[in-house]
Structure 1
């Protein structure tokens, strides 16, 4: 028997005062009533006692009494059942059995375990979904994400086992063996798919620069694989819009046969170009679905020139140079202040590192850039000159700076930032990056500035900007990063996320925003250039007034055209960042659009294009990897079975004595007034008083 505790939100020493209040109220109410109504002593005492208890109890409840009771409950052990929903299982051959008899057996396993276990079911593929779905539509397989979510949601004494099926073919995420080891429970695997190596010819992948330039030769690197087809001949072709741009004969010279084939095509049109790489099929292939691969390249007619100008050599400059040089859209020049080029107007953006500072103010360079309307990105150093920064009118005010004092500030994303899209995963990744070294001062953003990141100092979230963009009504934009140490961010991205895509992508967007001379357009639409065919197409429209403040109350429409010229009409919905449109189910292909709105009587339009591409990675590997499934089971103390062994697995789980219900005790705190009986006591006492007074003739 667990004790019941009574606690108060106010001092319990007030309880005698509650009782005294009730007695005083009853005495004032019923004194002298015997002479007026002729009530006897016992009746008066009964009525006064009832009223005193009502008032005292009411005052007592105002003290906020809380009842804490210990509750014991018995929970079933948790078993997680997960099904591989990827399309690669359909290439194993017997799809009818997969969707028919095996699906029924797997569902029956879940039902049989439900009597003893708390069974949680999931389907994993590109994403993790609750429930079992046998449609096999996922175009990627991420087993590690499934196990990570199981750990986050169920790890603890209640979780006793994980049962997952699949063919062992993964093409997204980390190695699932690491996530399985973290669970601390057996992971049982059901081996599906076919491990037989069948004759097959496939395009394993295509590599190309994501950006090319009109009239240039675009190099493609095609990875080809062939199995059990030695001596066969085929053709490799590159197509665009049904037209063959390049073609070459090939002979399979080994088994297995792996080769990288370079191809050159000429970029003849601007915009998003969708190149199709095709291997002509040969007789006896297991499947022809993997003979085709597509890649989308943005063809531009010019590239933007960026000057990285530093007070002195610094790893931040190297980090930015590597981030930008990964895209052919930029031509990068990095140098120091004493070697600054004479003609700065040749550049689309100048990045100033540790300028203006107390040792070198860079006034001459800044003045020349402003004369030529060259956008500027300032990265302030620890020896910043606050007065020089304030005088530049960058939408940033620095006050109370202390020389040589530094603050470590981590980025805190501002959700209302709308000058370019920052997806939630990128925002969360940046918030985990190490702090920048920011000169100790008070920073305040002006009315013409858009803050992208605030400063988080330790656990304290501040409103002080870490990165802001100035939005002038006329002239080029400017941006300020109030600290140095960007190289740590790029290194952290590599360590935490297995690559630098988030860092590189963010700063490319920032540079694109600043360097784009049309960035002062009042109406524009932002989106990714390429979408996978199973993800929604999301477009963000932004409308600004004459002061470049975001406008929300205008109607924004869009006309979408596919490659055949078929038009569809859509309307944007208002969102916290402007206007948003999500298009689901777009078929693979190239799309162009025209967005339009009217503000202050002025019609505004924005146009653009994007590509929806099919994801075919599930067709690349057709041979099941049961070795991975065996490793998962062996490494966690589980077992691997075939589809015919589900009964064996069910009996092993149901008869294992370790999997017994667990008794849990926890404290449950409840407001005393929420229990109900105080109300009943009120009602009883007031009813008693009313009844006695009614019978005595006072009512």
Structure 2
């Protein structure tokens, strides 16, 4: 208690004495023995009231016992059931729950996990993906300020995410893996990986790469084959041994018919092979039947022209012609036109483009005649300064005309463009913004415009040959840049007019991937409408089952996640509620369950995690040993802790009752003696 408070209490004591003495002794005409009793009551009541007003505080210590937490995390993925360990897991958890000694020593918290951590034990063993690294990181974060050893009941098989074996060195808590599954190495052949492009062009051949592996020590012979329907279109004999346990098979297949073509790759199982699920993998290729002719019109010679030609013609279904404005013949034969740094000699070209309503791609730079360009069209105007500036690209993640990802534009060199303000006089969609001298601006560097059914792309800078070269330096190939330019060409070469409702989906999805369908809904002025109420109906073509799901607004599109769909062929229809607008499509989900590709528990990784975190691995038949070791581990002791609380006197309600009681007794006594 502070000195100031003590002095106030002493003062209150003196004041109470003075009040009692003055009222019952000093002012009393006839002092009686009763007066001393009344003075004492008045002293107590006044003193108690003053003490309540002073409200002194007292420190109060409370003691309690704090148990360490035992975290029981159970793998709920399909691989547990595939390895026939689901019943063992349930029985093991029951033993943990029924251990009174563990309950007395620990606060036991139960979790299940697969892709994410769930604070419940609703076990179905049907989850399609496992990310053990993320689960352990989440638990470590939840209990970062507590003593909480982790009992990890799993087979150790992870389908994606960071390798938990190496990330475990950052974990504060000890991990005690309970290994589910057989650790015995059995004979197994499997298709480890299948690499194939999603698209191919009609009457071309597309490459396929298969990585085949073998577990065992015997010399074996098998056969790798690829089938389309009931027809075997590729077959090759494969041999393995204990030393040579992997093979890479490279082949090409013909794209003979347009549309989505499904294939099944199969590695014929050997006689004593237990797991044959991983010997088959389905894949599909969408065969495109299209040929795009592109015309580049330029009045100057520039390295950009060569880079554009190489990039566009990297796709065998596209060809490119370069011509001067005076040499143009048969413009109607081209699907799109690239106008490179136009000047007054392009007047006739612009007249033909307006007449034929062709889509085109305009690239400006230091040689562009902006006086002419400002006059010949009205979509955009550039301030005339006759000076140049360097513009660094910055990707716009909200670009909505077509799907595209950042290919590392922040590392690309600057383009040279005209210095001054660019004014866009119509609706546009920026793909890249300008960054000038490390200052990020909202001025576009690359944008697309769609007006009255005509599409145009505008790049406000020259030097894209440096971008293609930088892409090679970064990735040792030109694929990302060529895909970037190819998508712009594909967008401009399309003759489809914009509708108020567009859907974005793939022709097929693999069963182990996220199945997402997007939709874009526009107002009558073709502005993105965030007020829409969109729903999607999914119909399974085989079972005729239909389900309707609302689509959620996310950034500049409406999304739906259909990752829970089984393999099969589906039709879908997106409908805008309250509007007579809908859009339909179809897709295929290919069967693939990554959780069924595992044959054994990954004992090596689980033991390494236990060693790194100072835990210990166990098997199901060691449950008694596990419980006894946890109880005997001196790191996990019940700790007595104290908590100091500061209590105010005003919170003690009995003192107020005493004051009321004293005043009541005084009043009745005075009333009884005729003093009132």
Q: TM-score, normalised by structure 2?
A: 0.65
Aligned residues: 572
| Alpha-carbon contact 2:391-2:434 (below 8 Å) kept | no
Using the alignment, how far apart are the partners of 1:220 and 1:660 within structure 2? 60
> Per-residue deviation at 1:571?
7.3
Q: Deviations over 1:165-222 (max 9, x none)?
A: 4333334233334433344655554433322221333333333232123344444333
Using the alignment, how far apart are the partners of 1:341 and 1:165 within structure 2? 72
Q: Does 1:143 align with 2:136?
A: no
Of residues 494, 507, 513, the one that matches 2:491 is 513
| Alpha-carbon contact 2:200-2:287 (below 8 Å) kept | yes
Name the counterpart of 1:285: 273
Using the alignment, how far apart are the partners of 2:268 and 2:558 within structure 1? 45
Q: Does 1:632 align with 2:620?
A: no
> Per-residue deviation at 1:297?
0.7
> Per-residue deviation at 1:121?
3.9
Using the alignment, how far apart are the partners of 1:158 and 1:575 within structure 2? 39
Q: Does 1:527 align with 2:509?
A: no
Name the counterpart of 2:451: 472
Using the alignment, how far apart are the partners of 1:135 and 1:412 within structure 2? 42
> Per-residue deviation at 1:272?
1.9
Distance 1:185 1:271, change over 3 A: same
Using the alignment, how far apart are the partners of 2:543 and 2:88 within structure 1? 42
Q: Does 1:207 align with 2:189?
A: no
Q: Does 1:254 align with 2:233?
A: no
Q: Does 1:102 align with 2:84?
A: no
Name the counterpart of 2:6: none
Using the alignment, how far apart are the partners of 1:147 and 1:489 within structure 2? 39
Name the counterpart of 1:447: 426
Using the alignment, how far apart are the partners of 1:611 and 1:142 within structure 2? 26
Larger radius of gyration: 2
Q: Deviations over 1:357-396 (max 9, x none)?
A: 9xx9995898599477654445666898766765575855
> Per-residue deviation at 1:537?
4.1
Using the alignment, how far apart are the partners of 2:481 and 2:529 within structure 1? 29
> Per-residue deviation at 1:287?
1.9
Q: Does 1:295 align with 2:263?
A: no
Name the counterpart of 2:80: 89
Name the counterpart of 2:42: none
Q: Does 1:123 align with 2:110?
A: no
| Alpha-carbon contact 1:493-1:503 (below 8 Å) kept | no
Secondary structure at 1:169's aligned position in 2?
Answer: coil
> Per-residue deviation at 1:313?
3.7
Of residues 166, 187, 198, the one that matches 2:186 is 198
Q: TM-score, normalised by structure 1?
A: 0.63
Name the counterpart of 2:400: 418
> Per-residue deviation at 1:449?
0.9
Using the alignment, how far apart are the partners of 1:387 and 1:84 within structure 2? 68
Of residues 610, 615, 618, the one that matches 2:595 is 618
Using the alignment, how far apart are the partners of 1:314 and 1:294 within structure 2? 41
| Alpha-carbon contact 1:76-1:661 (below 8 Å) kept | yes
Using the alignment, how far apart are the partners of 2:372 and 2:101 within structure 1? 72
Secondary structure at 2:168's aligned position in 1?
Answer: helix
Distance 1:493 1:547, change over 3 A: farther
Name the counterpart of 1:589: 568
Using the alignment, how far apart are the partners of 2:158 and 2:530 within structure 1? 43
Using the alignment, how far apart are the partners of 2:549 and 2:382 within structure 1? 43
Alignment of 1:453-602 (within 5 A): 463-480=442-459, 509-518=487-496, 520-521=498-499, 523-533=501-511, 537-542=515-520, 547-550=525-528, 562-564=540-542, 566=544, 568=546, 570=548, 573=551, 575=553, 577=556, 583=562, 585-593=564-572
RMSD: 5.6
Distance 1:480 1:236, change over 3 A: same
> Per-residue deviation at 1:588?
0.8
Name the counterpart of 1:70: none
Q: Deviations over 1:572-620 (max 9, x none)?
A: 65847465555464221233446678999xx877553322123333333
| Alpha-carbon contact 1:201-1:281 (below 8 Å) kept | yes
Q: Deviations over 1:499-545 (max 9, x none)?
A: 99998876655443233222545543211333343666433334556
Secondary structure at 1:413's aligned position in 2?
Answer: coil
| Alpha-carbon contact 2:225-2:266 (below 8 Å) kept | yes
